[in-house]
Each structure stands twice: as C-alpha cells, then as structure tokens.
Amino acid sequence: MRIAVIGGGPGGLYAAALLKRLDPARRITVYERNAADDTFGFGVVLSDETLGGIEHADPDAYAALRAEMVRWDDIDIVHRGRTLTCGGHGFAALGRRRLLAVLHARCRELGVELRFCTGAPPAAELSRTHDLVIAADGVHSATRQAHADAFRPSVTTHRCRYIWLAADFALDAFRFEIAETAHGVLQLHAYPYAPDASTVIVEAREEVWRDAGLDRLDEHGSADHCAKLFQEALGGRPLRGNSSQWTAFRTVVNAHWSHGNTVLLGDAAHTAHFSIGSGTKLAVEDALALAACLREQPDLPAALAAYEAERRPVVESTQRAARASLAWFEELAGYVDQPSRRFAFNLLTRSRRVTHDNLRLRDPEFVASVEREAGTEPGTPPMFTPFRLRELTLRNRVVVSPMDMYRAADGDPGDFHLVHLGGRALGGAGLVMTEMVCVSPRGRITPGCSGLWTDEQEASWRRVADFVHTESPTAALGVQLGHSGRKGSTKLMWEGIDEPLPDGNWPVVGPSPLPYRAGVNQIPHALTAVELGAIRDDFVRAARRAARAGFDLLELHCAHGYLLSSFLSPLTNQRTDAYGGSLDARLRYPLEVFDAVRAVWPAERPMTVRISATDWAEGGTTGEDAVRIAAAFAEHGVDAVDVSTGQVVPEERPAYGRSYQTPFADRIRNALGVPVIAVGAISSWDDVNSLVLAGRADLCALARPHLYDPHWTLHAAAEQGYTGPGAPWPLSYGAGSRRPPTGRTDAPKPRLAL
C-alpha cells in the first residue's frame, strides 16, 4: 500500500509512524515544505488520555515523549493583582520542536520516507499514484481548498487577535492574567513546556488590538510591548517570537472528511480554539483512529467512513467546548468586575467541560472559597440558595421551564394540568411555570393549548394555584402569557409539529404577511394599528385574570417566533410603519404590551420576559441585538430576562450541545446586570451549580429533565446530601428522601478465598 502524507506536523508524522508500524510493507512518504528543524509556536500540551492512547499504540514513541515532558497541576489566575490558584488539573507539555524531533526519529526508525523542503504535489495527482493520501496540511489546507466542493468546508473567523511568544524560564503553573488598559482588556495564557521555557500567548479583541497600536508593530515590537504589559508575570524578563504574527483564530468545520482516497486529518479537518489546548491533541487522536480503522475495516472506503464516524462526534464535542471558551474570552471585559474568586471560577468553567462538581474533586478548598465569597451557606450547593425578585423569594434556583402540553379543552386547563404542575411543585423546584397560556382563541398554537380569556379558565387556573400554594407552600407558580401569531392554527405536536390543521383552521396574524413555511402554513394577516391595540388589550385582560387566579410571577412570551417575537426579528417583521424597520421600531409593540401588562400586574409580583437571543439564521436577531432587546425591557422595568434562542424561522441552524443557549444569558447578565434565567439543554444539577456560582445565570430553567423526573430537584438534593430549606420534602414524601437500595447487586460479597 502506497501512502502519501501532505504535511509534516505532529498529526501527519504520527499517522505515518503508526501506519508503518502496523504494516512495515507500506510505502509511506511524508511531504513537508519546511526544513526539518523549522517550526512555529513553542509548547504543545497533551492530555493524559491522549498520552495513554500513544502508549498503547506505540510504546517506543511514548517513552521518547515522556522523557521530554514537563508536568504540573496548578492553574494560577491573576485578577486585579490577586493570584488565585486551583490545583489538581494535571497537564503535560513539551516543546513543539522536540515533539517533531521525536516523531522524525521514530518515522526514520520505522522506514518512513521524510521529504523536507519539498512541497507536496496536489492531492489529485497523488491520489492517482497512491492508495491513500492523508491531507494533514493544516488550517490553511490547500487540499481542502482544492476540493472544497467535496469537503464543503466552513471557516469562521473570530473577534480576537492573538500572538504566540515564548519566555526563557519555566512558569510553575498554567497562568491566566488580565491586563486592563486604557484601550481595553488583554489577556495572557501561559504555561511551561520545558525546564527553562514557557509558551506565552497574548490575546485581545480586534478593536482593543488596533486601538493599542499593536497592528502597527513588528514581531520584535509586539514582543516588547507584551513583555511590558505582563512584566510582573514574567519577572521583568523579555519575550521572544518565532516568525510570530498577530492573527485571528479560525474555526474550521467540514461537511465531509474524505474524498475518494484522500482524507483530512488534524487542523485541515477541524480546528478548536487554543484556550482548551486541543489542536495537537486532536490531530494525534485522529492519527490513532485512522490507523485503527484502516486495520479493522475490510477496505479503504469502509475504513475512511469508520474513521469519520468515530472521530466526528468527539471533534464536534470539543469544538462546542472550544467555541464556548473562545466566546468567553471575547466577552472578557464583561466579567472583570466580578469578585476575584467568582471570576476565577467562571474562567475555569467557561468551556462547560470543567464543572462545579469536577472542580470540587480537583481542589475542594478552592471551590469552598468561591462559595464563601458568594455568601453560600456551608453545606449548601449553590442551586439551593434563595433568590429574590421584588417581593417574591424563590427557595432555590431551579425553574420548571414552560412546556406546551396540548391537553386543554377549549383553552380550559383540567386535571392533567393540576397533576402536571402540582407534581412538579411537590418535586422541589423553586418556580414552576405554566405552558404558554394564550390570551385569545385565535392566539392559540393548537386546539389543545390553554388560555386565560374566560371566567371558567380563570377558575381552573385558580384551582392549580391553590393546590401548589397549599401542598408546596414555598414553591412559586408562574404564568407565561403569549399569542401564537403566524405559528398558530396547527396540529398537536405529536400529530405534526407546525403543520396546519386538516380542517377548522382559524386565521393567523403577524407583523407582516410572511408565512412560517411558504406553501405550507397560512399567510398571516398583517395587523393594523387598531388590531394591535385590541391584542394588547387581550394581554391586559389575561394578566388581570392571572393575578386573580393567584399566580406569583408573570412572564411575557417574546420568543420562539410567536407574535411578539415576530415583531422583534428582522426576518419576520418587514413593516414600513412605526412598528418596523430599526430594532428600536421593532421593539415598539412588544414594549407597549409589556408596559400595559406591567401596569395591571400587582406591583409586588415580578414580571419576566422570554426572548429568543438569536434566530440562528443569517440576517436575523444576533447576540448583540439580544443585549439591546434585554436592555430595552430592563429600562421598562422587567425583573428578569428568560433567555432562549431560535424557533423563529424554519431554516435556522442551531449549534446544539449541552447548555448551548447559556452563553447568551451569560452575556446579557454581565453586560446589563439584569437577572437572567438560562435555558437550553441544562440537564444536571452540576450544570446548575456551575452556572449559578460562576454568575452566568441567576436561575436555570429545565424542561425535559422534569418530564423524565417530576422530582428532579428533590433527587438532586438527595444526591448531594442536602437537607436544608432550599429543597423541602413534602411531609407525605419524607420516607422517600433517601435513594432506595438497589437489591442484591450492591450487597457485600462473601469471602470465597483465603
């Protein structure tokens, strides 16, 4: 088998060495356009997991690498002159030059042909003379670009500039440091990679970089400027470069990783921001997987398919974490005013891979100190601290998110709603929200949606509220009021989500005559000023009914493409009158409704608003817009912003993943100081503790976990050994407050040998 490897970086070299070791008969050639001792950058960080894979696959290569590595456990975070240390992290690093030298030696030992100072022929040409072409030609991959129609790459350039430098001494920990200057915030990421050397990366937002004049400095000038900026961290020592340039990070994603007998590996296939130390790690893991799949599969097409199937989920998970991390650093200026320990905890948990519980295992005293600074009572997980909105004190930070149940009859909630909402109030959540309660018959999404436009509906909701307040007296019950707009008159979710009713349709309305799906959903009637006033009055009447029914909190639904949301998005609002055009104009009607409702809602009871912080679609609402939208509601007196995303247009492309919507809430909270409710694939109590303690959210709304387990909050308390007032067990349920034994499987085993 003839194999050509384009690119002599760590991924390409390691792939060549593994493939040759597994089958010495393979003829493998590595093309590298630079000289053998040329390299850019300085230190490389590898995880224990990756090193374990190398040890298993090639013990000789592992032994050579291990001899070169430096290890450390601590992370130092310097915030406004105060250094906070968190231990137990376990890093290993070595110089990139030494890594390449070890891999060069291993390749030569195995018989791989290394061609330095030699540009590779085009992949298309190599593919005709070789059985396999491995394109490991980096973030600027010529192979990927030449076959863009097959690989279908997407490259996103981000908002910070950074430069790789080095210091000729070894730091004793991984160090993050913040420099607050007249031009803005810059950050340092630094770590040792040899007994006498450290990598130093300096990063800043594009506008800060330009305002500071760094765009006009050469390599030497940049190194001098950064050394002065972080002179305390460096002990007054200089920094040096190695063909170092300021650049913007680019996230590379490919729809396909192989084309014929050509396959992408490492940065050519995917990139992940350096702040989670992943580039070389991912490339080496790619090489391991590719070599294994070529050995296990019957032919090359099957092997390349198996390689991508194995690696893609891992890479996508890493890229999600990396995007969260880089976004955190892009918004760093919004966090620097946090108390030092909260800032440090926030930084450490920024990617969502490191969590509150995980850090407690690594360094319990560090986490305890963060909790003390936050005023958390000893032995109380952050999620069980109370939170106050106006005169309402919530017993904990858990919210049962609004979930449409589609079980009402003519808008009237029945026994199902009593059991559904009452059960979750008994289950320990601090705030239980109703589904979207519609303000008129034509404001329903489906025939099964509940409402608050009749006396009978008001009485039914009072029955639910009375049950909650009697049987779970410290739980709060909130109502979400909304109007379906152009997304109304559709089937029940399980009969066909967003599909029109087969008969009995009612007319739908919106800001503009734009159907949710052209040719499928109705064309909405564009509301006149008079009709807008009538719908506003529907909201007011429903709010009065909600107050009389006994709800503790009211939320105005301005998300998910329903009526008020469709006024906010430029994709759904194309009006030319006072209610369309600029964002301020698009905000006009939702704010009018908010003000009218707030005027009749009891002053002591809080009012929140749910927004879609992004449409996940080109030309739609952006994260920057969301901050302005939240600010407008805050100016009008909103008590908290419930930050969701999407569901505005069907062509959306959400970046799904664990807690994927929480960065939008985080951004609003830290930009405006307004309380926020975070939602979006928050599934564990560890996530809730992490978000609350880091100051990314004040409350966390969970939906599906509460469908899986109505007593999710009580079980979270039991699993953490918490028995305080933040999660009181109903007296009738007290005997169930401990996890029951699982049976004989966990019984002591008999002694069967001396």
The residues assigned a catalytic role are 562
> Rounded CA gap, 194 and 43, in Å?
8
Q: CB of 311 within 8 A of CB of 38? A: no
Q: How many CB atoms lie within 10 A of CB 286?
A: 31
Q: Which two tokens stand for residue 231?
A: 């002179």
Place of tokens 């929200």: 433
Q: Which residues pair with 481 in a beta bridge?
A: 437, 556
- Report angle CA 382, 641, 494 to the nearest 5 degrees: 95
Tokens of 219: 């390599």
Give the other-Cβ count within 10 Å of 606's Cβ.
Answer: 23
- Which of 746, 688, 695, 681 minimizes the C-alpha distance to 722? 688
Rounded Cα gap, residues 157 and 145, in angstroms: 16
Is 711:428 a contact under the CB 8 Å cutoff?
Answer: yes
User: What is the spatial distance between Cα 754 and Cα 162, in angstroms, rounded to a whole number?
Assistant: 63
The half-sphere exposure of 123 on its side-chain side, counting CA atoms within 13 A, is 25
DSSP-based three-state secondary structure for 85:
strand
Instruction: Report the phi/psi class of residue 217: left, alpha or beta, with left for phi > 0 and alpha for psi in -120 to 50.
Output: beta
Tokens of residue 185, six digits:
């915030």
In DSSP terms, which residues pair with 262 in a beta bridge?
Answer: 133, 259
Pairing of strands 258-259, 262-264: antiparallel
**What are the counts of helices (DSSP H) followed by strands (DSSP E) for the chain?**
26, 28
Please report, to the nearest 10 degrees, the dihedral formed by the alpha carbons of residues 59, 63, 68, 71 taken in order: 80
Number of Cβ within a 10 Å radius of residue 220: 13
Residue 666 C-alpha from the chain's centroid: 11
Residues with Cβ < 8 Å from 565, sequence gap 6 or more? Answer: 485, 557, 558, 559, 572, 611, 612, 648
